[in-house]
Structure 1
Amino acid sequence: MYKIHCMNPIAQVGLQNLSSQKEEGHSYEITADVEAAEGILVRSASMHETELPKGLLAVARAGAGVNNIPLDKCAEHGVVVFNTPGANANGVKELVIAGMLLAARDVVGGIEWVKAAKDDADISKSAEKAKKNFAGTEIKGKKLGVIGLGAIGVKVANAAVALDMEVYGYDPYLSVNAAWSLSRAVHHVTNVEDIYAECDYITIHVPLMDSTKGMINAEAIGKMKDGVILLNFARDLLANEADVLAGLQSGKVARYVSDFPNPTTAGQKGCIVIPHLGASTGESEDNCAVMAVEEIMDYLENGNIRNSVNYPSCDMGVCSKAGRVAIFHKNIANMITKFAAEFGEKGINISDMTNKSRGEVAYTMLDVEEVPTEETIRALENIKGVFRVRIVKG
């Protein structure tokens, strides 16, 4: 029986897949005791101060961002961390479109005026005079630059095309799947500065890394069109928001729309700050929960890894042999040779295997025709550079 701990509330539509597996020969238990957990499901709870349980095998984040999880620490302990890219993409896409409309038309200002004038008996007549203060522009025909063409960026680009915007997309690491999904009407540019120079609206959809932190800064803003509208529904730290405020004050930036409230931008003139609602839809939460549960189940039962952020993708399907051994190790030379030697010494035949690497770590799965003994497992664990060994099937 695998024990799963939920660090945040997880949608029942996902959790019910765990209980349904009892009928198929697998067994799961939701436990309140994190120390007993072999799998953890998490949304926003921070795990950086959490001591990793000794038996923990996997963490699945029901969402895309993993800033709340100690990835390197997990990797060194052979704990696979999953996320759910694309599961909340439609919810975020719709809010980005709403953000563009809110920035183009001062709907928020108009609503606030109506609230303030609620006691005016002749409010309809007053509104006709006041509405000129909230006039805006249409987004049709405007140029939108999408920085980052992942699951969300592609959906935003395609939706903007459908709204008759001229769309430019930038992503030096564009995946094959994203390329197939992207509308042919999107102009794919190879230099982000082309987006800065050409676009009326710029929306950013890249992961937060050392290389992307603060990429929207004074230098980048200086290359943009006067009156540019910036949208940030990815991570607030992607923008140097002090520089953005300076751009707003000078008039270089017309609006800054962010889904990340903080003391820098909250209540500032020209800032439309939303309380992190991007993925806050029932549909997104359900999709993320289902995807996270499916990932953690496939890993626990078969050793397969997909959508991990700290280990490589690796899929050998369902094991049909006597046993499957999963080995987490450093990405260094001769490791496979050493593994094979241990099995050969014990007279155990390897019928199938795969090895994948990601940066400094690697993952090897071997299907064997005889279930390895504890002695064999200990021998593998004692190989220098090995983090963890587990029997997935046997």
Structure 2
Amino acid sequence: MKTIYLLDEITEATKEKARAKGYRFADTQTPEAIFVRSKQVPDALITADLAVIARSGSGTNTINIDKCTENGTVVFNSPGVNANAVKELVLTNLFLSVRPLDKAHEVMRQIEVEIAKGNIAGDAVLAAAEERRSTLIGEELTGKTIGILGLGEIGERLAEACYHLGMDVIGYARTQKDSMYFEQTAALSELLKEADFVVVLLPLNDQTQGLINEEAFASMKPEAILLNFGRGEIVDEAAVLKALDAGRIKQYITDFPTTSVVQHPKVETYPHIGGTTVDALTAGDRIVFARMDRFLRYGTIKESVNFPEVTLPFLAPYRLTIFHKDAPGALAPLLKLLSDAAIDIAHLASERKAGMAYTIIDVAEQKMEEVQQAAAMLQEVPQVHRVRLLHNPHLDV
């Protein structure tokens, strides 16, 4: 029975499916698998026992990917599964930013007090409300310009929605996209000069950290609103607070609260809820559990962060999976070792990614002890990071 350590709670349906497949959940320092949503994965958990980390969601900045790769631990995520949820939250904030609905609700709460006191009754309620609506005049999104930084799944969906709202959409990304819904620019400063709304949807990396800095704010309109649903560190916190205080931008809306921003009157913060819908969480859990399960039972890789994609029908009694350094001729000594050990190879598949390779070798009818010895010898090869020996779950071996 394989052990899964839950760093975050997951849907009950996923738990039931895992238990039905023979997994157990335990709080242990040596799990075979970790299931996580947004919490930091401690490096101390990345041990020789840890075969897989399943991240329900897209971002992997809370996981030490380099250490996982060195350890031979595969990392799966579910990019795009929360795209619609984030898109809808951004749209909600766009609407709220141009219509003073909070103020309108406060007006009605004041009228409720007057009704309770007996000062307003009957048809006078609507008249009293209408008398105050001159202070509640908003604007429309139609005709406004939105700049979207990051044109992945979320960015493209948001661009399409804004286009249909009658907005002018400018997109910014490293790779060129072909879309009728936005004009793409390679010059960030040009986007910032034009945009009434700037939406950050970029991933965090060395190129994007601190991208929205003092220089960026100097290019923006004083009435512009900045919305950050990418990662907190992409916006220079000191710079955004300085820009707000100086009136260089109108408002900052972020899904990444910190001590400084939550206390500023021109900042609206959320507790990192961009992808937090029942639909997105359920789908994310289902997808990464399926990938984790296939890997643990069959050794196959589908859409991993750090391993190449490799699939092979499991038709033999035993399977060896080898995660090793990639180089010209890297596979030859591994195959020679198996040949010298008289291991009968039935099927083989191998792919490479970012200097590493993942090889699946199916072993024909053979004594289990011989295959175990071969696996142990493979693990001793310097360029090999991890070897796993799997028994075909559908055969009695």
Question: Which residue identity is paired with 2:212?
Answer: I
Equivalent in the alignment of 1:221:
217
Structure 2 matches for 1:165-314, cutoff 5 A?
A: 165-173=167-175, 183-309=179-305, 311-314=306-309
In 2, the alpha carbon distance for the partners of 1:390 and 1:158 equals 45
Within the alignment, does 1:365 sit opposite 2:360 as a pair?
yes
2:324 to 329, 333, 350: 329
CA-CA distance at 1:217 after TM superposition = 0.9
Distance apart, 1:85 and its partner CA: 0.9
What residue in structure 2 maps to residue 46 of structure 1? 40
For 2:156, the equivalent position in structure 1 comes to 154
Per-residue CA distance 1:48-72 (angstroms, 9 max, x = gap): 2543354221111112222332322
Of the structure 1 ranges 328-337 and 219-228, higher mean CA displacement relative to structure 2 is found in 328-337
- Shift of the alpha carbon at 1:47? 2.1
The structure with higher relative contact order (CA 8 Å, sep 6+) is 1
Consecutive unaligned residues in structure 2, runs of 5 or more: 393-397
Residue number among 66, 73, 76 corresponding to 2:67 in the alignment: 73
Match for residue 7 of structure 1? 7
- Distance in 2 (CA, whole Å) between partners of 1:266 and 1:2 is 42
Match of 2:140 in 1: 138
Shift of 1:388: 0.8
SS at match of 1:275: coil
Q: Is the 8 A contact 1:158 1:183 kept in 2?
A: no
Task: Give the CA RMSD over aligned residues.
Answer: 2.6
- Per the TM alignment, residue 145 of structure 1 is displaced from its structure 2 partner at its CA by 1.5
The CA distance in 2 between the partners of 1:114 and 1:81, in whole Å, is 51
Please point out which of 341, 346, 363 is paired with 1:346: 341
For the 8 Å contact 1:201–1:229, the answer to whether it is kept is yes
CA distance in 2, matches of 1:339, 1:108: 66
Match of 1:105 in 2: 99
Give the Cα separation in 1 of the matches to 2:4 and 2:53: 10
- What do the CA deviations read for 1:8-31 (whole angstroms, capped 9, x no partner)? 2110222333245xxxxxx42222
Structure 1 357/350 Cα, relative in aligned 2: closer, same or farther at 3 Å? Answer: farther
CA contact (8 A) 2:322 2:360 kept: yes
> Helix, strand or coil for the counterpart of 2:323?
strand
Change (3 A) 1:212 1:75: same
Aligned pair 1:88/2:82, yes or no?
yes
Rg larger for: 2
Partner Cα separation in structure 2 for residue 345 and residue 209 of structure 1: 45
Output the amino acid matched with 1:10.
Answer: I
Find runs of 4+ consecutive structure 1 residues off by over 6 angstroms. none
Distance 1:4 1:186, change over 3 A: same
Deviation at 1:162, TM superposition (A): 2.2
Task: Name the counterpart of 1:23.
Answer: none
Alpha-carbon separation, structure 1, partners of 2:93 and 2:303: 29
Q: Deviations over 1:236-266 (max 9, x none)?
A: 1110122112222233212211112212211
Identity across the alignment (%)? 30
Residue 390 of structure 2: which of 384, 388, 392 is its match? 392
Shift of 1:393: 4.5
**Could you tell me the TM-score, scaled by structure 1's length?**
0.87
Q: Which amino acid in the other structure matches residue 90 of structure 1? A: N
Equivalents in 2 of 1:278, 1:308: separation in Å? 23
In structure 1, give the amino acid aligned to 2:55. Answer: R
- Aligned-pair distance for 1:351? 3.1
Distance 1:249 1:124 in 2: 38
Find the aligned partners of 2:175 and 2:322 in 1 and give their Cα distance. 29
Structure 1 alignment gaps of length 5 or more: 21-26
* Deviation sequence 1:179-206 (CA, Å, 0-9, x none): 6xx7522223333333223222111111
The structure-2 alpha-carbon separation of the partners of 1:113 and 1:243, relative to structure 1 and needing over 3 Å to count, comes to farther
Determine if contact 1:143/1:200 at 8 Å carries over to the other structure. yes
The count of corresponding residues between Structure 1 and Structure 2 is 380
Letter of the structure 1 residue corresponding to residue 201 of structure 2: H
- Cα distance in 2 for partners of 1:393, 1:270 equals 59
**Structure 1 residues 256 and 373, CA gap change in structure 2 (3 angstroms):** same
Match of 2:395 in 1: none
Work out the CA distance in 2 between the residues paired with 1:120 and 1:68.
51
SS in 1 for 2:288: helix
User: Whole-Å Cα distance in 2 between the matches of residues 279 and 14 of structure 1?
Assistant: 18
Hey, what's the Cα distance between the residues in 1 that align with 2:198 and 2:6?
A: 37
